[in-house]
Amino acid sequence: MLKVYKCSKSPTIKVDSHSIQPLLESSVMTSYFSRAAWILLLVLCQPWSIRAFSGLIFQFYPYHTHRLTTGSVNSVMKDTKVSLTSSSSERIDSGTAEEKSSPIKLKYDLVVIGGGSAGLTAAKFATSFGKTSVIIEEAKLGGDCTWSGCVPSKTLLSCAKAAYTVKKASQYGLELNGSKDAKIKVDMKAIHDKIQRTIQTIYEEEDSAEVLSSKGVDTIQGRASFISNNTLSINLIPTEDLSTTVAADGLAKGKAEILVEAKAGIVICTGATAFVPPVDGLIDSGVDWATYETIFSKLGKLPNNRSPPRLTIIGGGPIGCELAQAFSRFGSNVTLVTPSLLLNDAVEPEAREALQRVFQEQDNIKIVTGRVQKVRQELDGLGKSVGAHCITVSSKNGAPETCIEVRGDLLLVATGRKPNVKKLYDEGGLKEIGVELNDNYNGIKVDDKLCTTVRNIYAAGDCTGDKQL
């Protein structure tokens, strides 16, 4: 059974175009501040972004609201059994058709590629003005913020803060079991479980297909390819992540074609992924390493459920810094390797200096300034791996420049993020229809209204190559 979430009942709202701008700047904008803070700050709160989204919304108004009827759904999806779940619990089942090659055709005012913070915001904006919208997501709704960014990292930091506060109880005039020197036992498996519960709660309450359906946003799990500047071909992905299951052989093998047409525009919100630098030995040395995308799942598999005795972090940006402090407060000896100053130009010099002082004086984090040249496994006298790593750093801590070795039990690569656009550009038709990228695949080129180089196609969020964490 293919289950597609579809909201069949939502109010049609007539809006005077002259009232859109103040509405964006007041009530509608306010309602979205509960979403991920970083995307709201970067995409919604800046004056140029308000103009951009309002410009995008203006595109909707020459069109009439479109809603699929039971008859139209049945007529275009004859080749499989379809269940549409909406806020009214309407379910539509059709029989098996003779022709399995007929494409499924859907039409919306706004089509969004990517279900992360930017994509969710764009789709919800459209429905708040009475327009139809659909999110096409290849992996998981919620994106980095829910699954590997804001939610898990801030949950981890809250646990680390609790551990640090208990350790420093005597500074607050508190004694634990008659002792002023509190010694705590950190259970990383329990912390992992708490993070996963928090993620699941946020997903179920904010990002799930069911919640989006109740807000009038449809979702399709699949891989989008551009046919034109207003039409996408969707290759369905048979997984459970968006409550979309595929049983028909044709669909399961990716043979079924869904065509989705956008009457007003397509917004690309494919986000970003971890950047892994081309360091000698990092990929092929057998060293166990992680990025922000994988570190949180590793927490439940650490030896003895303890924080690693020695943690090496490559990268002194926001991700590297927050994880360095968290693991230090769990009891790890942390070495932070950064090619330049902490946070570089992300913050004011005074904030950077304060952070470095706290790291060194309170958290006992060792900071090494230099570039990683090589990664290898640590070996014993018999040449066997001891489950640790050794990295060679061209260090600038002293003069002249010297090479030093840093050893650790777990290696975290936090060297930034890169826009997730290459596959869509090279294989998804983006190049063929004329959408241009920034140099070195560093995001989709947009103007100050988030318009790409092709009419009716927009891009928002990390995929534009804006400042990455």
In this predicted model, what pLDDT tens digit does every residue of 267-287 receive, in sequence order?
Answer: 999 999 999 999 999 999 889
Lowest mean per-residue pLDDT among 83-97, 182-196, 442-456? 83-97
- Helix/strand/coil for 270: coil
- Does pLDDT of 205 surpass 60? yes
Name the most confidently modeled range: 15-19, 93-97, 347-351, 369-373.
Answer: 369-373
Lowest mean per-residue pLDDT among 37-51, 122-136, 156-170, 322-336? 37-51
Token pair 């596959």 is found at: 423
Strand-pair category, 258-268 with 457-459: parallel
Listed by start position, the domains of the chain span 2-141+208-272+418-464, 155-195, 275-416
Fold agreement (2-141+208-272+418-464, 275-416): yes
Q: What's residue 275's pLDDT?
A: 95
CA 363 to chain centroid: 29
CB 123 within 8 A of CB 277: no
Greater confidence (218 vs 33) lies with 218
Within the chain, how many helices (H) and strands (E) appear?
Answer: 15, 17
- Does pLDDT of 156 surpass 80? yes
Q: What's the distance, Cα to Cα, between the start and end of the chain in Å? A: 40
Q: What's residue 14's pLDDT?
A: 39
Q: What's residue 216's pLDDT?
A: 94
- Does pLDDT of 92 surpass 70? no
Q: What's residue 247's pLDDT?
A: 27
CATH topology of domain 275-416: FAD/NAD(P)-binding domain (3.50.50)
Q: What is the mean pLDDT of the chain?
A: 78
Query: Measured between alpha carbons, how far is 44 from 375 in angstroms, rounded to an integer?
Result: 41
List phi, psi (to 5°) of 318: -55, -40
Strand-pair category, 272-274 with 417-419: antiparallel
Q: What's residue 400's pLDDT?
A: 63
The yes/no answer on whether domain 2-141+208-272+418-464 falls in CATH 3.60.21.10 is no
Lowest mean per-residue pLDDT among 10-19, 138-147, 270-279? 10-19
